[in-house]
Chain A
Amino acid sequence: MNSRLQQFLPWFVVGLLALFPLLENTFYMQLLTKVLIMAIFAMSLDLLVGYTGLVSFGHAAYFGLAGYALALMVPKYEAVSLWWSLPAAIGVCALFALVTGMLVLRTRGIYFIMVTLAFAQMLFFVFHDTKLGGGSDGAYIYVKPAMKLGDFEMANLEKPAQFYWLALFLMAATYLLLRRVLGSSFGRALLGIKVNEHRMRALGFPVFRYQLASFTLSGSLAGIAGYLAAVQYGFGNPEILSWHQSGAVLMMGILGGMGTLYGSVIGAGAFVLLQEVLSNQAWFGAAAKHWQLAMGIFIMLVALYMPQGLAGLAQKFRGKPATEGADE
């Protein structure tokens, strides 16, 4: 019964979320869209941190790169087709992740954190200091991508509700894809590498190849999130590549709990909503400007008292450890 519930709960949540646009509250719908996009981003990082044991501090590189890829693909006053621009943006991210992965995966631990950060910062300054993507002003996307099948318009992304549904669909798809991948022997090998890399090698696993595959998949999925974010805000600027962004997605993971996937979704929701509340001037007045201070304190408290994150809290009530072990 319990496992039944566990199976259907995600679908129930997705179903509920799908009904949200019926409330016709555009402000909260756009806020939720942001949560969904960040959930994809945080899940992509969870694959790396929670399941492969690689703590990246440069994940914004792939998020931002996809945004810029879209901005550079869009003709100035026309819509670009989503059917090819989304795969193309993901492809750019996959390629960049493959190449950087080959280099950064030669390091471990604190060095891995630093080298991933360095690559993200390099990309940041490429877009910040050159005319390629409009420098520090960024590049604009005046017309949102089109989703047409022949003459039939499947969805109009200019309408917030339809864009919301697209983000929800892609979030659910990302979750399903990762569940599937992590339930395969490939996923088990990743978990083995996280727990004891040396032993995996001694057992005959080509560890580097597995890590590179995980790193590339992770970067590609971050690309989906980056693409959607660029569509939502209508521009790509260097901020989306900055280390603040890499830090924010890590914090979402810590907040929600790593190594559970759904923890990333909860963490993204908590982070985005908290940010919204804490920076609300009507409620906090002058203090709202310093929302990051309050957020920092909150995250410290979570790290101290809930090391498994909010997902760990949910698991506590069910009496199960938060990390999904490979137990049968």
Chain B
Amino acid sequence: MSDLPAMSSEPILRTRGLTKRFGGLVAVNDVSLDLHVGEVHVVIGPNGAGKSTLTNLLSGDLPPTAGEVMFEGRDIAGCTSDHISRLGIGRSYQKTNIFLPFTVFENCRLAAQSRTPHALKVFRRVEGYAEINRLAYEAMESAGLSHRSARVAATLSHGEQRQLEIAMCLATQPRVLLLDEPLAGMGPHESQRMVELIKQLTADHAIMLIEHDMDAVFALAHRLTVMVNGEVLESGTPEQVRSSPAVQLAYLGGEELLHD
């Protein structure tokens, strides 16, 4: 995992000087980072470091106070979240955010439906769209939820709900994936599954992953950014970050990373 693939390739998503202030609090301060297709860019940092706020700025859930977000060469800072989603940037939420009363299939079908321009055709039966159904089934398959297709989402286990969260994101066919702590609250077996899934997705997606599980972080990261108090403390390959004295001192307490 140490060699950065194709450093020369243009980043699909890049931020420069990205800043978000809530009144006097600077939640995200002057953050610049690049996402490349074929790479997992992991962002770590203690609670309150601004990781989720950063995700919200990229997905359009929050408008940035300053700075730019370039997606395929155009500035999308301040665009609405539905617009950004349609451009091809999908996200999952740290707190599970699904349609609880709907079946797993309907959750994924709705997600896939968002890609169709004829969504406003009001007289055609919803079942008649083969392409949308196919996308929904594929997304369930990828996330390992096919056997739960007919279950109501509210009755799934916590881990399965996390999988559904990812499946819905996949059904929208994004090229950039923003995954906010996808492993949170998962058992070891489920975590392993998710890590495998993210590895598979890396080939044709640019992925930003926020994660606390250090095993997963080092299994997946091509590039690692450490955030503290809204600022980037260190960014580079996992080796560079691992050996950075600043990181060891400020965030990792000189322990966790040195172990392996």
Which residues of chain A have a CB within 8 Å of any CB of chain B?
180-181, 183-189, 191-192, 195-196, 198-207, 213, 323, 325-328
Subset of 12 A-B contacts with CB under 8 Å = A180-B122, A186-B122, A188-B126, A192-B110, A196-B100, A200-B114, A201-B85, A202-B61, A202-B82, A202-B91, A203-B172, A204-B86
Measured CB to CB, the closest approach of chain A to B53, in angstroms, equals: 16
Q: Does B240 touch A at the CB level, under 8 Å?
A: no
One of B81, B98, B126 near A196 (C-beta < 8 A) = B98
Measured CB to CB, the closest approach of chain A to B105, in angstroms, equals: 6
Kindly list chain B residues whose C-beta atoms are within 8 Å of the C-beta of A198. 97
Kindly list chain A residues whose C-beta atoms are within 8 Å of the C-beta of B111. 203
Kindly list chain B residues whose C-beta atoms are within 8 Å of the C-beta of A181. 122-123
Residue contact B99 to A196, C-beta cutoff 8 Å: yes
Q: A203, A205, A207, A328 — which one has the most chain B CB atoms within 10 A of its CB?
A: A203
Residue contact B150 to A183, C-beta cutoff 8 Å: no
Which residues of chain B have a CB within 8 Å of any CB of chain A?
59, 61, 80-83, 85-86, 91, 93, 97-103, 105-106, 109-111, 113-116, 118-126, 129, 132, 150, 152, 168, 172
Residue contact B120 to A186, C-beta cutoff 8 Å: yes
Measured CB to CB, the closest approach of chain B to A197, in angstroms, equals: 11
Instruction: Decide yes or no: A184 and B82 within 8 Å by CB, A195-B100, A204-B172, A325-B101 being known contacts.
Output: no
Instruction: Decide yes or no: A326 and B103 within 8 Å by CB, A186-B121, A203-B114 being known contacts.
Output: yes
Q: Provide the bound-state CA to CA distance between A189 and B120, in Å.
A: 9
Kindly list chain A residues whose C-beta atoms are within 8 Å of the C-beta of B59. 202
Measured CB to CB, the closest approach of chain A to B89, in angstroms, equals: 10
Instruction: Decide yes or no: A202 and B97 within 8 Å by CB, A181-B122, A188-B113 being known contacts.
Output: yes
Kindly list chain A residues whose C-beta atoms are within 8 Å of the C-beta of B124. 184-185
Instruction: Decide yes or no: A326 and B106 within 8 Å by CB, A181-B123, A185-B126, A203-B85 being known contacts.
Output: yes
Residue contact A325 to B115, C-beta cutoff 8 Å: no
Measured CB to CB, the closest approach of chain A to B147, in angstroms, equals: 15
Measured CB to CB, the closest approach of chain B to A63, in angstroms, equals: 23
Measured CB to CB, the closest approach of chain B to A325, in angstroms, equals: 5
Q: Provide the bound-state CA to CA distance between A185 and B81, in Å.
A: 21
Q: Provide the bound-state CA to CA distance between A204 and B85, in Å.
A: 5
Of all A-B residue pairs in the complex, the 4 with the closest CB atoms, nearest first, are: A204-B85, A204-B114, A204-B86, A326-B106
Measured CB to CB, the closest approach of chain A to B168, in angstroms, equals: 7
One of B106, B126, B129 near A187 (C-beta < 8 A) = B126
Measured CB to CB, the closest approach of chain B to A174, in angstroms, equals: 14
Kindly list chain A residues whose C-beta atoms are within 8 Å of the C-beta of B110. 188-189, 192, 200, 203, 326
Kindly list chain A residues whose C-beta atoms are within 8 Å of the C-beta of B99. 192, 195-196, 199
Q: Provide the bound-state CA to CA distance between A181 and B102, in Å.
A: 19
Instruction: Decide yes or no: A207 and B82 within 8 Å by CB, A185-B129, A202-B91, A328-B103 being known contacts.
Output: yes
Kindly list chain B residues whose C-beta atoms are within 8 Å of the C-beta of A204. 82-83, 85-86, 114-115, 172
One of A185, A196, A323 near B116 (C-beta < 8 A) = A185
Q: Provide the bound-state CA to CA distance between A328 and B172, in Å.
A: 20
Known pairs A198-B97, A328-B150 / 17 extra A-B pairs, C-beta < 8 Å: A184-B125, A185-B118, A185-B121, A185-B124, A185-B126, A186-B120, A188-B113, A188-B126, A199-B97, A200-B82, A200-B110, A201-B80, A202-B91, A203-B85, A204-B86, A326-B101, A327-B106
Measured CB to CB, the closest approach of chain B to A156, in angstroms, equals: 33
Q: Provide the bound-state CA to CA distance between A195 and B99, in Å.
A: 6
Residue contact A201 to B81, C-beta cutoff 8 Å: yes
Kindly list chain B residues whose C-beta atoms are within 8 Å of the C-beta of A196. 97-100
Q: B61, B118, B122, B172 — which one has the most chain A CB atoms within 10 A of its CB?
A: B122
Residue contact A183 to B102, C-beta cutoff 8 Å: no
Measured CB to CB, the closest approach of chain B to A128, in angstroms, equals: 36
Residue contact A323 to B123, C-beta cutoff 8 Å: no
Residue contact A206 to B82, C-beta cutoff 8 Å: yes
Please, which residue of chain B has its CB at the minimum distance from the CB of A184? Answer: B122
Kindly list chain A residues whose C-beta atoms are within 8 Å of the C-beta of B102. 191-192, 195, 325-327
Residue contact B101 to A323, C-beta cutoff 8 Å: yes
Q: Provide the bound-state CA to CA distance between A323 and B102, in Å.
A: 11
Kindly list chain A residues whose C-beta atoms are within 8 Å of the C-beta of B93. 202
Q: Provide the bound-state CA to CA distance between A328 and B109, in Å.
A: 11
Residue contact A202 to B113, C-beta cutoff 8 Å: no
Q: Provide the bound-state CA to CA distance between A225 and B122, in Å.
A: 22
Kindly list chain A residues whose C-beta atoms are within 8 Å of the C-beta of B118. 185
Residue contact A202 to B126, C-beta cutoff 8 Å: no
Please, which residue of chain A has its CB at the minimum distance from the CB of B125? Answer: A183
Residue contact B125 to A189, C-beta cutoff 8 Å: no
Kindly list chain B residues whose C-beta atoms are within 8 Å of the C-beta of A207. 82
Measured CB to CB, the closest approach of chain B to A107, in angstroms, equals: 18
Measured CB to CB, the closest approach of chain B to A321, in angstroms, equals: 9
Please, which residue of chain A has its CB at the minimum distance from the CB of B132? Answer: A185
Residue contact B98 to A185, C-beta cutoff 8 Å: no
Please, which residue of chain B has its CB at the minimum distance from the CB of A205? Answer: B114
Measured CB to CB, the closest approach of chain B to A51, in angstroms, equals: 13
Q: Provide the bound-state CA to CA distance between A202 and B98, in Å.
A: 11
Kindly list chain A residues whose C-beta atoms are within 8 Å of the C-beta of B126. 183-185, 187-188
Measured CB to CB, the closest approach of chain A to B117, in angstroms, equals: 11
Q: Provide the bound-state CA to CA distance between A186 and B126, in Å.
A: 8
Residue contact B98 to A199, C-beta cutoff 8 Å: yes
Q: Provide the bound-state CA to CA distance between A239 and B125, in Å.
A: 40
Residue contact A189 to B119, C-beta cutoff 8 Å: yes
Q: Provide the bound-state CA to CA distance between A201 and B83, in Å.
A: 9
